A = this chain, B = another copy of it.
Amino acid sequence: MPSAPESGVNGLGPAGRAPRRRSDRARLAVLNAADDLLVERGYAGVTIEGIAARAGVAKQTIYRWWPSKFEILMDTLLEDAESALAVPDTGSFAGDLRQHLRQLADFLSAQPAGRVLLALIGQAQHDTGEARAFQQRFGDERRARDRVIFERALARGDIAPGADLDLLADLADGPLYHRVLLTGLPLDGVFIDGLVDRVLASVSRPARSSS
């Protein structure tokens, strides 16, 4: 998180220098401007110059704290996704799964931060470095959280033992992302319910050997 505000204890001991004093005003203005521009004009319409102008900030200030517009948008994503994508806890696997997918569907199709997420996924396809950054800063944590749902189900016995939880996560989230990223089909309630049913069905008994 390159732009974390002086994260952690830097205790700067006896001889420590005061760290660079970053302007929070500038930081927030940049994140908001980037977010706005993305929604209004799309990823290509997000330019450092445009952000600087809209945020009332000098370009140099942006370059001082972020290496690219990708990272700026990553910061906005992380701030926004936190709240919108909490791990559900309804008491049942079916309930957790359904709520998880509904949240995700809503996030991706209706919220500004969802637009940011899609743009970043898109950009990650163009640049391996950015793909890696996306993975580390967003993907890994997301995966860990989503995994909780399946681990709880496993503990409860809702999933047959020995299941590959990564695969189950792909099975649940994959179809949803597939629609948004590729086919453009709607993420409505019918789709979510059908998907939940299929995932539950696929999970209720051990995977057979497919030979």
Contact = CB atoms under 8 A, between A and B. Distances in A.
A181 B197 CA distance: 25
Interface string A167-207: 11011011111110111110000010111111111111101
Interface residues on A, range: 35 or more
A183 B135 contact: yes
Interface in A7-64: 42-44
A83 interface: no
A205 B201 contact: yes
Residue from A43, A123, A170 whose CB has the most chain B CB atoms within 10 Å: A170
Contacts of A175: 167, 170-171, 174-175
Contacts of A123: 122, 125-126
Contacts of A128: 42
Looking at chain A's contact residues, the main secondary structure is helix
State the oligomeric state as a number of copies. 4
A207 B170 CA distance: 19
Contacts of A168: 198
A46 to B, nearest CB: 10
Contacts of A199: 202
Interface in A117-146: 118-119, 121-128, 131, 135, 139, 143
A205 B205 CA distance: 13
Interface string A78-112: 00000000000000001000100000000000000
A170 B181 contact: no
A181 B121 contact: yes
Contacts of A184: 131, 135, 139
A178 B173 contact: yes
A125 B135 contact: no
B207 A194 contact: yes
A171 B201 CA distance: 12
Question: 5 shortest A-B CB distances, which residue pairs?
Answer: A122-B125, A174-B174, A174-B178, A174-B175, A202-B202
